[in-house]
Each structure stands twice: as C-alpha cells, then as structure tokens.
Amino acid sequence: MAACVLSIVTMVTQVVVVLEVRNLRSELETKLRHKEAVPDGKDFDKLRGAKAALNDPRGLPGAAGSSGRDGRDVKQPGTVSPENLACPSGYVKFQDTCFSFSNERRNHAEARCACQTTELNCQTTGGHLALPKDQATNDFLVNQIHDRYPNGDDVWFGLTDQLQEGEWAWDDGAPLGTGWTNWYTGQPDDGADGFSSAEDCARWREDSYKWDDGSCFFPRHYVCEVSAAVP
C-alpha cells in the first residue's frame, strides 16, 4: 500500500513539473511574439530549472520514510512514531517493542508458550520470546536482567537451532545468519563443554550476560516481547 502511495506521489510530482515546463514555454513564446523577452535570461533559467527537476531524480521526493536529495520527505501514511505507542500493563518499552520479565522459571518450550498467551496452553498468540537482534536492544535487556535478577540467573530468549543443528533461527522465523551476535567465547558448542548432551536453546549467561546455548529442558527465567501499539 505504501509503495502504491509513493508511486502516486512521484507521478503527481512529475505531472506538476511537466505542467510548469509547458506554462513557462508558453509564456516565453508569448513574450517573444510581443518582443517582451527579458534580456537577462531569467525566464530561460526558470525553464532550464524546471526541465532539470523533471529529468533529475534529485528534484523528486525521497523514498518513503527517507529524505530526497532536495530535502523533501515522503512519510508512509499511517505510521506512528515510537513515543506515541504504548505497552500492556507489566511490560516496559524500548523503541517500538514491549518486554516483560518472568517471575518464575520454566523450560524453553513452556517459556515460549507463556509468551504467546496469558495461560500455559499455547492456544492464543500474543507475542514470543525476546529477540535481541541488535546491540542496542540486547544492552537494554541485559541492563534490565541485571537489575531484576540480582542473585544471578541464566535467562531464555527466542533463538534456537532445534530445527537444524547449527542453523540458528529467531522465534519469528528469521535466520540468525550473519547478523549481529553476542556469543560467549567458544559458544555455541552444543554441549561439548560437558554440561549437557544437547544444547539447542539460547540464553543469557548469568556470569557475563553473553549468549550461550543450553539444554532446552532446564527451567530458567525468560523475557517475552510484543509490539507496542497505539493506545
């Protein structure tokens, strides 16, 4: 929808410029016929400028949500700035996302279900385990974890390689790939350190808050996230 709106805006801009060029050309022709063309060439400069705006993409607005090189900005219709969004009760907001921090410990599957619904039944979807895909989000969550669990505790977030060993994917389905990571040195190792035989679920380590793979069956605290919404 946003792409269609942008296309319409761009087309209307081009039509306006074309009409401006035609009007200037008509005006110049009229002046020349009556010998009224100005000697300093200002009208010809206007005509050249209008043609340049038509042919040069710098004269058109930028893509949706970004400024064109002429300084104009086309915003996507219906977008709301993060400061105008709100979170459900019990959640804290960072940018356009809301996070909640568990009071109880659950294994990874139970924690995932708890984030999806208000009851442990996996029948309704309200969110998922937290996705610290960038350093800013990760740092925010780590600071919260440090304050909320002062006695230290490993904490689940939404990253696993349960579907394919070694192929880590976020709980929203996106692959980790070559994106930003914060693994502890030597991790993930799938249990090669001897603590468990299979480690397919990511957690923040209590000793460093770095990422580590752990047994999905071990109960831990966890962080949920949902998208902030218009109040």
How is residue 130 annotated by DSSP? -
Task: Domains for the chain: give ranges and CATH numbers.
Answer: 2-59 (no CATH), 82-227 (3.10.100.10)
CA distance 85 to 175: 28
Beta bridge pairs of residue 98: 93, 226
Q: Note the pLDDT of residue 115.
A: 92
Q: Is the pLDDT at 138 greater than 50, yes or no?
A: yes
Query: How high is the pLDDT of residue 205?
Result: 96
pLDDT band at 3 (very low <50, low <70, confident <90, very high): very low
- Rounded mean pLDDT of the chain? 77
Interior angle at CA 61, CA 18 and CA 81, nearest 5: 145
pLDDT band at 105 (very low <50, low <70, confident <90, very high): very high
| Report field, pTM of the whole predicted structure over 0.85 | no
Evaluate whether 62 touches 74 at the Cβ level (below 8 Å). Answer: yes
Q: CA nearest 111: which of 226, 212, 217?
A: 217
Residue with more model confidence, 127 or 46 = 127
